[in-house]
Structure 1
Amino acid sequence: MKVTIMAHKALYRKWRPEIFEDLIGQEPIVTTLKNQIQSGQIAHAYLFTGTRGTGKTSTAKVFAKTVNCENPAENNPCNQCETCIGITEEKIMDVMEIDAASNNGVENIREIRENVKYHPSKGKYKVYIIDEVHMLSQGAFNALLKTLEEPPAHVIFILATTEPRKIPATILSRCQRYDFKPVTIDNIQKRLIFILDSMEIEFEKEALRIISVSAEGALRDALSILEQSVQWEQQRLTTEGVVDTLGIVPEEQLYETIEALRNNKLEEVLEVLETGGRQGKDVVHFTKDLIQYLRKLLMAKVGVELEQFSTMPKDFLERLKVQSQQLSSEWITENLEGLSALEGKMKWTGQPRILLEVFLVGICKSTTALSSKEKEGAPDVQELAKRIQKLEGILEGRGMEEKPLRTQSREATEKPGETTKKPGERKKPSFDAGGKDTGRKIAKEEKVQKKESVPVKNPGEGAFPDREKIQKHWQDILQTLKKEKKAQLEALLKEGEILGTDNEKLILGFEKGFGFHREALDKKEKKTQIVDVIQRITGETVGLKLIMKGEELPQNPGGNAEQKLVETLPEGLVEFRDD
């Protein structure tokens, strides 16, 4: 008994374009090629570039069939003549498709050079389609160059590649280059609907949306995913089947993950990972999905209209926008950068899940997730408690033998009766008519006067900058830098925050993740330009000290402890005494 074996044909091969109109998303290229065919101005060498699955090889085959077709119709192949059928079934030697990945040697190109001398057996042209041409060796490129320089009139070369930067400039200059764009999500969905309707297969729209997004612009990848996901027995395509096939995390689950991180609910986040692991979800894929979700949050945060390029349901888009406003831009960008770096590390470890869990623990420890609006709307109870505890410690530590307040000037802290004198000179006491020492009285009066007029100083260092004055004019300082064509300085500086003063220096702090800004500004030339503007705007002569937030501040940032205590406590509670 004779058994006939029916060969299965993959969807991407079964639905490969047969005419130019079947090529999806490459209309400008199609129009140009058809015009060349119509006018007879056909080039001898073409270079098709673009990402995988965008139709480079398919376009080359349709072009090869059209220029050799016996009965072309509207600059398309008829697909019925002997030549078209022979090319489709790969039975005619006039059209050769060569894989440069496995035929990349000089001898392979030399064979082509020998064969191009002979005229085609059926059609008008011999067409050589060299796929992944960037894989050719340097010697092979040199051998090909001679043929491209002086090709026979009956030969056409079509080179296809995903990496044009690897092709020598001498080859590029001899080809007409066409760049194939990634197929849009909308075009992929329309093509999938056409195919499913033709095959009479029921489908869910959400399933098509997930396939279209996951294909990342490659129609061939979309057809491969479709073929894996269809339940052929029931002739149905379901969202659940697509999710299981791809091993992706649903957007609702990503939303809940971000909510748990925002509210420091680590146990819920880890439960998501545990559930995904039991379902066979890939932790690397989960990381990629989380990165894409954070990217959408960032776009929504800065006001980008997601409806223009996202196929998310409208109700979910609204929830995403609300969630983005509950998070600070710094929190989103910091974790976006962190996850992107983490994805790179996952390639080199056998335990990617542990890396992700450690990173998520770090996110939950962060206290900067709230947006600036939420921070301004509610007092930070923990910060207030720390301030109270610090003030109580200062009060308990002073006692009765506390040193004189350092908010006074050096002259004001001198012992009664002492005045400035030259080295080696002794101060003679002065007495009034009643025999009382007038030196103490005069010194005391001078001390009171200087206390009111002399600016705050640190012993031996000079006056502290007026932090409040600088803070008040901070935006003017930034705008001045921008107007004076120092926009880079302004952009870097506005990420800093005034934390205090240290002797004659203004302390600027930068959040975690903005170390680059601090390092870029921590140059003598840039500091000089900044302090010059500060002096012109505020009249304050200062230096700059740049630190990362969380680093230990100087002992007396912006003044001493006693001065801060006086500024914090209600007026009249502290009494200054000279004895």
Structure 2
Amino acid sequence: MSYQALYRVWRSQRFDTIVGQQMVTQTLKNAIIQNKTSHAYLFTGPRGTGKTSAAKIFAKAINCPNNQDGEPCNDCDICKGITEGRLNDVIEIDAASNNGVEEIRDIREKVKYAPTQATYKVYIIDEVHMLSTGAFNALLKTLEEPPSNVIFILATTEPHKIPLTIISRTQRFDFKRIDTSDIVTHLGHILTEMSVEYEEQSLFVIARAAEGGMRDALSILDQALSFSEGRLTTDTALKVTGSLTAERLDQLVSSCFKHETEQGLTLLQALLSEGKESSRMLEDLLLYCRDLLMYQQAPNLLISQNGMMTDLFKELSDQMPAALIYEYISILSDTQKEVRFTNHPDIYLEVAVVKLSNAGSLTTAPAQLDATPVDSVGVSPTVSDEVVQGLLERMSQLEARFKEVGSQQGVQSSKKETPKKSPSKSSYRLPTERVYQVLNEATRPQLVQVQEAWDELLQLLTVTQRAMLKASQPVAASPKGLVLAFDYEIVCQRASEDTELHTNTKQGLQRLLQFEPAIVCIPSDKWAGLRNDFINQRPSSPSDEQEAPDEGAYVQIEGEAEQVQTETTAVDTAVELFGEDVVEVLND
């Protein structure tokens, strides 16, 4: 006979052999003993926790003529037929590949026929959440009122995807993740039965990597036995699971705690060069920090879960304050989330080590912790009274100083009714000369052309450039230049430094208006001052006034500009309501 995987060979055949689900198995046994079985059950829980095994055992126990205390005998023809999958009255369906309406309708038709060999016809539908909406609807009525000799057992890892109308028609049993200690005990029993020597710590490594799933644990054990040479060692388990040794974890966390960033990164590079996976390393570091907290609060409980503790681990647990461990866990947890969505997890892991090394820089140094005992929050009880007394004295001094300064400010404010405001400093240097050059040659038709083509010009730019120019408007235009007023100074500064924006804007205007001006950027709150200064500096002689541009060649966006806009809006509204023939505009 060909080789079978361990999880198939050691699949539970009795309720008592299902590990870590005592509440579920005892309830099902009592229901069989008392003849109070339901017509439909829903088994939910993580993968590899015994859902399908429990369903098959239940099918055997309820049909076994020799069952005792709710357990099947596993010797009769019915039990053997169910175990080997050849009894026609126990139908196991994979909903992942049979999720259509037609498959469920086929079940509805066949459910009417009585069982041929067993007392009950049992339908086990695995991964039932994969059924389509139509298939669920087709199953509803049959699930609610099946024939008296039919039982449905639905199994799923994602119960939130099952309609509530289905869940309400079943008895639900939640299978929990199996404890590490239970997995270790079961693996030890299997290795003993197989006459394989093993190190106990290797079983803890495998159990932790399985994350509460017995099937995963048996698969890893199977792989580790194939890799080992007749004896299962801790080193073998670490290599197979990709986990870190306790000594490596001690060194890495110790380096971070002592703020030795370079040494921590060197250790990390060595681990990565050995082929360690980033996600697995993060998981191990999180579990290590969790163990530090557990050892501080409940050391006996941790020893039963983790096997053994190194001397450096115990030393770190005594030295590290709980608040610092909380910060470590937060940093590692955030990094674990970021690693899931990146193609460069090693970079995030290196950044995490740097963060860990810099975390808690304000807490007590390790050297001081060795000399002075600490309590649960990392505060030295021998100096706490002195620190508090010093703080109280400092507070009283600050309070006296505050009252003195307040009285002085009161005297000064009584003498000065309106204190001077310091002028706000602007980091952007106004291009005054360039603005004046544009205004000196500005024409109204040129500005109107630019304003009319402005929206079309924005569509020719990139999304980023378009967003930048959305916060601006053209306020003056000449044959050689264009002044843009920006709502925000920081956007104005970025736009003035963006040569690509200037180039694309020129090209767009050349394409639309055959006009390629130099772009001048200014904040909108400075435009009114620049405009007024230019008007006031214009020569007053008749010959010069004839050459000077008309003030309509550029717009004003503050003060009277708002008034003109309001008046124009009022006239437009009146024309729209009453028509141009009725409305007469009179200028004062």
- Asked if TM exceeds 0.5, the reply is yes
Summarize the Cα distance change of 1:184–1:368 in structure 2 as closer, same or farther, 3 Å threshold.
same
Q: Structure 2: any 5+ residue segments left out of the alignment?
A: 370-377, 384-403, 422-588
**What is the CA–CA distance in structure 2 between the aligned matches of 1:44 and 1:191, rounded to whole Å?**
32
Would you say 1:370 and 2:369 are equivalent positions? no
Q: Helix, strand or coil: the match of 1:71?
A: coil
Q: Helix, strand or coil: the match of 1:98?
A: strand
Summarize the Cα distance change of 1:119–1:370 in structure 2 as closer, same or farther, 3 Å threshold.
same
1:58-108 Cα offsets, whole Å, 9 max, x none, are: 010011111222332443222222222221111122111111122211112
Residue matched to 1:338: 331
Q: Residue type matched to 2:99 in 1?
A: N
- Partners of 2:49 and 2:215 within 8 A in 1: yes
- Partners of 1:207 and 1:242 within 8 A in 2: yes
Summarize the Cα distance change of 1:94–1:111 in structure 2 as closer, same or farther, 3 Å threshold.
same
- Partners of 2:201 and 2:307 within 8 A in 1: no
Cα offset for 1:282? 0.4
**What is the CA–CA distance in structure 1 between the aligned matches of 2:409 and 2:140, rounded to whole Å?**
84
- Of the three residues 88, 95, 119, the one matched with 2:83 is 88
Cα offset for 1:304? 4.3
**What is the CA–CA distance in structure 1 between the aligned matches of 2:8 and 2:411, rounded to whole Å?**
93
Residue matched to 2:49: 54
- Partners of 2:196 and 2:231 within 8 A in 1: yes
**What is the CA–CA distance in structure 2 between the aligned matches of 1:131 and 1:278, rounded to whole Å?**
42
Summarize the Cα distance change of 1:171–1:299 in structure 2 as closer, same or farther, 3 Å threshold.
same
Cα offset for 1:142? 1.0
Report which of the two has the higher share of helix. Answer: 2
Q: Helix, strand or coil: the match of 1:349?
A: coil
**What is the CA–CA distance in structure 1 between the aligned matches of 2:322 and 2:224, rounded to whole Å?**
38
What does residue range 121-136 of structure 1 map to in structure 2 within 5 Å? 121-136=116-131
Q: Structure 1: any 5+ residue segments left out of the alignment?
A: 1-5, 380-404, 415-419, 424-457, 461-579
**What is the CA–CA distance in structure 1 between the aligned matches of 2:305 and 2:416, rounded to whole Å?**
84
Counting aligned pairs with the same residue, the percent is 44
Indicate the RMSD between aligned Cα atoms, in angstroms: 3.0
**What is the CA–CA distance in structure 1 between the aligned matches of 2:27 and 2:234, rounded to whole Å?**
39
Q: How many residues are aligned here?
A: 389
- Of the three residues 53, 71, 81, the one matched with 1:76 is 71
Would you say 1:249 and 2:248 are equivalent positions? no
Q: TM-score, normalised by structure 1?
A: 0.62
- Of the three residues 294, 297, 301, the one matched with 2:289 is 294
Summarize the Cα distance change of 1:363–1:213 in structure 2 as closer, same or farther, 3 Å threshold.
closer
Q: Helix, strand or coil: the match of 1:259?
A: helix
**What is the CA–CA distance in structure 2 between the aligned matches of 1:135 and 1:358, rounded to whole Å?**
40
**What is the CA–CA distance in structure 2 between the aligned matches of 1:422 and 1:312, rounded to whole Å?**
74
Residue matched to 1:497: none
**What is the CA–CA distance in structure 2 between the aligned matches of 1:9 and 1:306, rounded to whole Å?**
38
- Of the three residues 3, 22, 26, the one matched with 1:8 is 3
Residue matched to 1:269: 264
Would you say 1:66 and 2:65 are equivalent positions? no
Q: Helix, strand or coil: the match of 2:43?
A: strand
Would you say 1:311 and 2:305 are equivalent positions? yes
Residue matched to 2:408: 409
**What is the CA–CA distance in structure 1 between the aligned matches of 2:29 and 2:20, rounded to whole Å?**
16
Summarize the Cα distance change of 1:300–1:411 in structure 2 as closer, same or farther, 3 Å threshold.
same
Cα offset for 1:325? 4.4
Would you say 1:23 and 2:18 are equivalent positions? yes
Would you say 1:177 and 2:189 are equivalent positions? no
Residue matched to 2:510: none
What does residue range 309-458 of structure 1 map to in structure 2 within 5 Å? 311-313=305-307, 315-316=309-310, 319-366=312-359, 368=361, 370-371=363-364, 374=369, 409-410=408-409
- Of the three residues 127, 137, 140, the one matched with 2:135 is 140
- Partners of 2:331 and 2:356 within 8 A in 1: no
Summarize the Cα distance change of 1:159–1:410 in structure 2 as closer, same or farther, 3 Å threshold.
closer
Q: Helix, strand or coil: the match of 1:37?
A: helix
Cα offset for 1:207? 0.6
Q: Helix, strand or coil: the match of 2:109?
A: helix
Residue matched to 1:545: none
**What is the CA–CA distance in structure 2 between the aligned matches of 1:74 and 1:356, rounded to whole Å?**
54
- Of the three residues 24, 28, 33, the one matched with 1:38 is 33
Summarize the Cα distance change of 1:413–1:232 in structure 2 as closer, same or farther, 3 Å threshold.
closer
- Partners of 2:224 and 2:236 within 8 A in 1: yes
Q: TM-score, normalised by structure 2?
A: 0.61
Q: Helix, strand or coil: the match of 1:409?
A: helix
1:126-169 Cα offsets, whole Å, 9 max, x none, are: 11111111221221111111101210011100011122222211
Q: Helix, strand or coil: the match of 1:311?
A: helix
**What is the CA–CA distance in structure 2 between the aligned matches of 1:20 and 1:357, rounded to whole Å?**
47
Summarize the Cα distance change of 1:27–1:315 in structure 2 as closer, same or farther, 3 Å threshold.
closer
- Partners of 2:328 and 2:359 within 8 A in 1: no
Q: Residue type matched to 1:121 in 2?
A: T
**What is the CA–CA distance in structure 1 between the aligned matches of 2:118 and 2:194, rounded to whole Å?**
34
Q: Helix, strand or coil: the match of 1:159?
A: strand
Q: Residue type matched to 1:280 in 2?
A: G
Residue matched to 1:168: 163
Residue matched to 2:182: 187
Summarize the Cα distance change of 1:328–1:308 in structure 2 as closer, same or farther, 3 Å threshold.
closer
